[in-house]
């Protein structure tokens, strides 16, 4: 990083040197990525690679690297055909293209591409074009051909098929290349890519970019997550194996039974809520999980909508999911909030049926029979639900159980272990208190 040498230059001398630059020279310097980048942020020097896999912690500069690389690839030769694939269409627009480190922000004004959202296309002045794709819609990638691609947050994609379809379309040019920028998770696709001979892996920690991050941001993250498994994944960029003490195992219990879509009809669908007690930036998340019981007797986990929300926000998200998935009821834990939960939900839609369930046994006791259903191969996740699955494979009985896991347990207990009001775990009818229907 040539820019790092500036730290050794006396400030008055540096100010004079910068003041001597013409506006055009100053603009060119501001957009000279090779000058500003750290060495590990520059692409491999040889061309004998197909995938440049960047596994890095939050704030390392993944998005900036992806945007700079894809922009230079587009400008390197007129008429190139590229692909931008993000977790969702909103992620492509708001992070990869229009984000603070996105393509529009880093491009020199004379080279800045035109984004046409209605056509899902980015057009550079030299005639190169990039089509945009949502990994949530793998079929979008059937047919189009590309020479270059940028995939963001691959470890959080719901469908591996999106990656497979992209590979089928990477068939233009002498040597197609794809850059992947992602926080690591121990998903099957990440593990496979790391082992492939045509992959160059770059690893980075949040701390590597501390000079460009607010000191309070780094200190707060390290104080809260330093030394934890989540911190090792999100800050240190480690690909962690599942905790052997956990009740869920990723490969045998999740990956082995994953489906892209429910193969049969669903005879019952519920939206389960594990509400947070408070609604601040420091609060726990509110767990919101949608699950269904198929006519084949299997449980299907359909979606995870958990997050940090105000009561009105989680109520609206839960009821939206109730309508979208044509659910039968909303199941909510009443230990925290009780009647408040019914009140908040009724303010959004008083006609939605609500079953309040109350836990009278420990969380491990409630979770173990659900884990057993997974172990018996009786539960399938529809696509990948990365944040939920991380919690399942990291939680150890005896620790405070996380929100997404709790919501999942409530949903599958309602569907597969008995009707509300008579739910039980392992024959213990007292595991749930009586459910009250709204």
Q: What is the mean pLDDT of residues 73-93?
A: 96
Report for 154-168, 323-337, 390-404: range of highest mean pLDDT? 154-168
- Cβ atoms of 83 and 261 closer than 8 Å: no
Q: Where are the domains of the chain?
A: 31-234, 250-437
| Residue tagged 């890095």 (tokens) | 56
CATH code, 250-437: 3.30.420.280
Judged by DSSP in three states, 323 sits in: helix
User: Is CATH 3.40.50.300 the classification given to domain 31-234?
Assistant: yes
Chain centre to alpha carbon of residue 118: 25
Encoding tokens for residue 94?
Answer: 């708001």
β-pair type (354-357, 436-437): antiparallel
Q: What is the pLDDT of residues 375-398, one digit of tens each?
A: 999 999 999 998 999 899 988 887
Note the pLDDT tens digit of each residue in 226-279: 767 667 777 777 777 777 888 999 989 999 999 999 999 999 999 999 988 665
CA pair distance 271, 44, nearest whole angstrom: 47
Cβ-based neighbour number of residue 227 at 10 Å: 8
Asked if pLDDT for residue 90 goes beyond 50, the answer is yes
- Which residues, 6 or more positions from 183, have their beta carbon under 8 angstroms from its beta carbon? 55, 56, 57, 58, 62, 153, 155, 156, 233, 234, 237
């Amino acid at each position: 990083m040539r820019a790092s040498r500036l730290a050794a230059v006396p400030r008055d001398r540096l100010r004079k040197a910068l003041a001597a630059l013409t506006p055009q020279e100053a603009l060119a310097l501001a957009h000279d990525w090779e000058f500003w980048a750290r060495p590990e942020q520059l692409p491999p020097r040889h061309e004998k690679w197909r995938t440049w896999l960047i596994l890095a912690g939050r704030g390392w500069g993944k998005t900036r690297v992806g945007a700079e690389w894809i922009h230079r690839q587009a400008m390197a030769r007129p008429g190139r055909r590229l692909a931008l694939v993000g977790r969702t269409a909103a992620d492509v627009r708001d992070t990869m293209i229009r984000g603070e480190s996105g393509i529009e922000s880093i491009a020199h004004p004379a080279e800045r591409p035109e984004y046409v959202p209605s056509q899902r296309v980015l057009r550079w002045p030299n005639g190169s074009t990039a089509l945009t794709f949502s990994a949530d819609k793998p079929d979008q990638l059937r047919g189009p051909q590309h020479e270059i691609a940028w995939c963001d947050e691959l470890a959080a994609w719901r469908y591996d098929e999106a990656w497979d379809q992209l590979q089928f379309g990477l068939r233009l040019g002498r040597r197609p290349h794809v850059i992947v920028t992602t926080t690591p998770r121990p998903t099957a696709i990440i593990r496979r890519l790391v082992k492939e001979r045509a992959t160059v892996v770059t690893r980075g920690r949040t701390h590597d970019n501390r000079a460009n991050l607010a000191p309070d941001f780094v200190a707060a993250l390290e104080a809260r997550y330093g030394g934890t498994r989540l911190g090792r994944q999100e800050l240190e960029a480690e690909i962690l194996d599942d905790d052997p003490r956990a009740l869920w195992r990723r490969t045998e219990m999740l990956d082995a039974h994953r489906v892209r879509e429910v193969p049969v009809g669903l005879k019952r669908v519920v939206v389960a809520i594990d509400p947070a007690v408070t609604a601040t930036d420091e609060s726990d998340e509110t767990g919101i999980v949608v699950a269904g019981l198929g006519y084949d007797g299997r449980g299907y986990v359909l979606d995870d909508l958990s997050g940090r929300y105000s009561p009105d926000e989680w109520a609206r998200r839960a009821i939206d999911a109730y309508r979208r998935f044509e659910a039968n009821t909303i199941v909510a834990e009443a230990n925290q909030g009780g009647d408040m939960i019914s009140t908040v939900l009724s303010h959004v839609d008083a006609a939605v049926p609500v079953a309040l369930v109350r836990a009278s046994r420990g969380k491990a006791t409630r979770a173990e029979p659900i884990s057993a259903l997974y172990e018996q191969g009786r539960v399938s996740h529809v696509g990948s639900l990365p944040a939920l699955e991380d919690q399942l494979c990291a939680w150890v009985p005896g620790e405070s159980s996380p929100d997404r896991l709790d919501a999942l347990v409530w949903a599958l207990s309602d569907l597969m272990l008995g009707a509300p009001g008579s739910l039980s775990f392992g024959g213990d009818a007292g595991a749930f208190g009586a459910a009250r229907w709204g």
